[in-house]
């Protein structure tokens, strides 16, 4: 078998493994309506996906009185947790992860979700056993700060040059660059792939099966 290039493969969650971009956008917008705040456009709400919740809301609704962000965050969480059972994995994600696990890569998640949110999503999708470690934005620094990726590499004993970050946003690709790791983008999530060019990803996949095929051949 061809020797592998990467020991550790780290995935973003929302918009990369889980088809959740649309729901997150709608929940941000609904939370804004609840408290009478300016409602961001679909594009503006999608842009902040991948950031920690506090950072995301401050970017999406910059004109809000700072004292009201906790209220907005609370309303967002209520909307999201009420509907997260509707979410599913992108087609092809499960066999991809199973293939990578069989090849003895370490697998991890680096996400802007909260620990509660990720744990519930892992339980719902029954994927917890496939990942060697995970990091969430409420237990470390939010993307694109390199801390969560650095912590995963340190925990699992992976060097930056043998670590690959995969995500659907520029926040993910900037995270990889800041941590000295390689990156692959996916075009089917929150950000338009044209925005990836300045980060020079190794590849941009247009579906999970296409990502699977690339990883088998190049990771």
Distances (CA, A) of 120 to 86, 113, 128: 13, 11, 10
| HSE of 200, CA atoms in CB hemisphere, 13 A | 4
Residue of 169, 120, 148, 126 whose CA lies nearest to 8: 148
Q: Which of 7, 14, 55, 172 is catalytic?
A: 14
Beta-bridge partners for 164: 9, 182
d(CA 71, CA 53): 12
Residue pair 168/188 in contact by the 8 Å Cβ criterion:
yes
Q: How are strands ordered across the β-sheet holding 8-11?
A: 133-136, 106-111, 8-11, 163-167, 182-186, 204-205
Residue of 53, 18, 59, 45 whose CA lies nearest to 168: 18
Active-site residue 172, yes or no?
no
Active-site residue 14, yes or no?
yes
Residue of 109, 119, 100 whose CA lies nearest to 165: 109
Residue of 120, 121, 124, 23 whose CA lies nearest to 76: 23
Which residues are part of the catalytic machinery?
12, 14
């Amino acid at each position: 078998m061809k020797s592998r290039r990467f020991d550790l493969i780290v995935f973003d969650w929302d918009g990369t493994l889980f088809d959740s971009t649309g729901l997150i956008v709608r929940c941000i917008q609904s939370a804004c309506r609840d408290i009478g705040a300016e409602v961001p456009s679909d594009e503006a709400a999608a842009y902040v996906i991948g950031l920690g919740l506090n950072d995301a809301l401050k970017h999406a609704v910059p004109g809000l009185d700072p004292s009201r962000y906790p209220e907005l965050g609370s309303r967002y969480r209520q909307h999201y947790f009420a509907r997260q059972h509707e979410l599913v994995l992108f087609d092809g994600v499960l066999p991809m992860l199973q293939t990578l696990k069989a090849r003895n890569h370490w697998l991890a998640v680096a996400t802007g979700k909260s620990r509660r949110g990720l744990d519930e999503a892992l339980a719902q999708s029954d994927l917890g056993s496939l990942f060697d470690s995970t990091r969430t934005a409420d237990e470390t620094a939010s993307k694109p700060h390199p801390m969560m990726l650095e912590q995963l590499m340190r925990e699992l004993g992976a060097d930056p040059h043998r670590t690959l970050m995969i995500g659907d946003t520029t926040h993910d690709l900037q995270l990889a660059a800041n941590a000295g790791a390689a990156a692959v983008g996916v075009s089917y999530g929150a950000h338009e792939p044209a925005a990836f060019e300045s980060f020079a990803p190794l590849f941009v996949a247009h579906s999970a099966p296409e990502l699977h095929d690339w990883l088998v051949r190049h990771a």
